[in-house]
Amino acid sequence: MIDVDRLRKDFPALSPRHGGPPPVYLDSACMSLVPQAVLEALGEYYTDYPGCAGRSLHRFAEEVGHRYESARESFARFLGSPAPDGIVFLRNATEAINLVGQGLDWKPGDRVLVTDQEHNSNLVVWQRLAAERGIQLTHLRLPSDGTFDGEALDRELDRGVRLVSFFQTSNLDGRSLPVREIVERAHRKGAEVLIDGCQAAPHQPVDLARLGVDFYALSLHKMLGPTGTGLLAGRPERLSRLSPLVVGGETVEWTTLTEHRLRPPPHRFEAGLQNYGGVLGAVAGLRYLQQVGLDEVEAHDRSVNARATKALADEPRVTLLGPPDPAHRPSIYSFTLDGVDPSDAALFLDEGYRVMVRSGMHCVHSWYRERSLPGSIRASFYLYTSTTDIDAFVTGVTELLGRIPPTESRPRPLTPVSRPEPAPKTQGRAP
């Protein structure tokens, strides 16, 4: 069991401010807080060995080069990746998904399958490729109760799919998909699989070798790392088929005035001077997370989520999104309040109770628009979330509802609303 009171002392952002109580941070699905060890690792790079890896031969360069490649090995072990050279350091999962999307050799008519609940980062790139390269984008609708229909997936795969690109855990409602089953079904039909692991890897053990995924995208700023750090994990033979998003320094073995030869993965994808301090800070965050233990983190998430869920379960004006059982969405409690705009609710909680949650459409605009919802409120939990945090959150929501007169009860449109098909595109400039 996590000793939250002791652990919270390692996070400077949770210190009391101006003589008042400590802040209540319930927005870890967007960005986790960082422990002191990460701040120290960042400072150590800039003060002790601020060199360029793989270029100069002096001691600063040699030291950072060794630590940078060691970081690759650390994340490979953490993810159960087959080899360190299957780890590409990038800015975030968005860049990782774009690297796969833009890097594959698409042919017109190639089909990509996503769910109807994907983050914009795993939707917009495919929409763009549909317009620019003629791929076909199709959607698998997920049941609202959090279950998964494998036969529905098979029906889509039978239509011919080149790439399945799904989240592992949803940032909207916290549900998780059965990745190994999805991979097995996809591979039987000849499709490759890209998984967005942003909301999963920080909270539960991940073994890519067991799951069998072809590509795995991850933002390290959601797992105690600094901003601007992420990675793409993939089998080296899969990565070697991708074209780089950016080329230049460190991506090539040699050049002439007319041609060049790319280095093998992962270096061909890491153009220019890298975020060495950020990556080494992310490794410090990884070590901290491993010391706590991901099994302990997952159990703690379930515990605090169960406390919030139980406290608000009998409030008729609270509509929960996703699976009703908090064990099936341990890191996220996403909901709407009847008669209250989500942004107003978030501001009330912040200003009145120092409770920080996220409001809006959570970069899943398509899901909300299909249901005519203006957004939702999302409280997200992590290893430093305390029962005191949960109680402050519940008290704030309850007081807010007490101040707002109930509106006439009406059903929430949580199923897609049928919309007319868009008009066909015409040639020429729009008027």
Helix (H) or strand (E) holding 280: helix 276-292
pLDDT for position 240: 95
Pull the structure tokens for residue 114. Answer: 């996503």
pLDDT for position 314: 94
pTM as predicted: 0.93
Q: What value, to the nearest 5°, has the Cα angle with vertex 43 and ends 39 and 49?
A: 140
CA distances to 21, 359, 387 from 17, in Å: 7, 24, 20
CA distances to 117, 118, 141 from 366, in Å: 8, 8, 12
Give every CB contact of residue 301 below 8 A, 6+ residues apart in sequence: 203, 330, 331, 381, 382, 385
Maximum distance among all Cα pairs of the chain, rounded to whole angstroms: 73
CA distances to 116, 156, 162, 210 from 138, in Å: 9, 8, 11, 27
HSE-CB at 31 with a 13 A cutoff on CA atoms is 11
Q: Given its phi and psi angles, is residue 45 left (phi above 0), alpha (psi -120 to 50 degrees) or beta? A: alpha
DSSP state of 360: E
pLDDT for position 317: 96
Closest CA to 9 of 271, 288, 207: 288
Check if the beta carbon of residue 240 is closer than 8 Å to that of residue 265. yes
List every span in the chain annotated with CATH 3.90.1150.10: 4-30+293-403
HSE-CB at 256 with a 13 A cutoff on CA atoms is 2
Pull the structure tokens for residue 17. Answer: 């401010």
pLDDT for position 34: 98
Give every CB contact of residue 334 below 8 A, 6+ residues apart in sequence: 172, 173, 174, 320, 321, 322, 362, 376, 377, 378, 379
Q: How many angstroms separate the CA atoms of 14 and 237, rounded?
A: 44
Check if the beta carbon of residue 308 is closer than 8 Å to that of residue 281. no
Among positive and negative, which fits the CA dihedral 140, 141, 146, 147? negative
CATH level 3 topology of 4-30+293-403: Aspartate Aminotransferase, domain 1 (3.90.1150)
Phi, psi angle pair for 25, to nearest 5° = -100, 110
Return the active site residues: 363
Q: Kindly tell me the burial class for residue 220, based on how many C-beta atoms sit within 10 Å of its own C-beta (0-12, 13-18, 19 or more).
A: buried
Phi, psi angle pair for 425, to nearest 5° = -70, 145
List every span in the chain annotated with CATH 3.40.640.10: 38-290
Tokens 């409030």 appear where?
Answer: 315
Segment-wise mean pLDDT, segments of 10 residues, the chain, 431 residues: 96 91 97 98 97 91 97 97 92 98 97 97 98 97 93 97 98 97 98 98 97 98 98 94 93 93 95 96 98 97 98 96 96 96 97 96 94 95 98 98 74 52 39 32
Tokens 């807010």 appear where?
Answer: 400
Check if the beta carbon of residue 71 is closer than 8 Å to that of residue 282. yes
HSE-CB at 357 with a 13 A cutoff on CA atoms is 34
Count CB neighbours of 144 within 10 A. Answer: 15
Domain spanning 38-290 has what CATH number?
A: 3.40.640.10
pLDDT for position 416: 63
Q: How many helices (H) and strands (E) does the chain have?
A: 14, 15
What is the per-residue DSSP string for 243-279?
A: PPSS-STTSEEEE-SS-EEEPPTTGGG--SS--HHHH
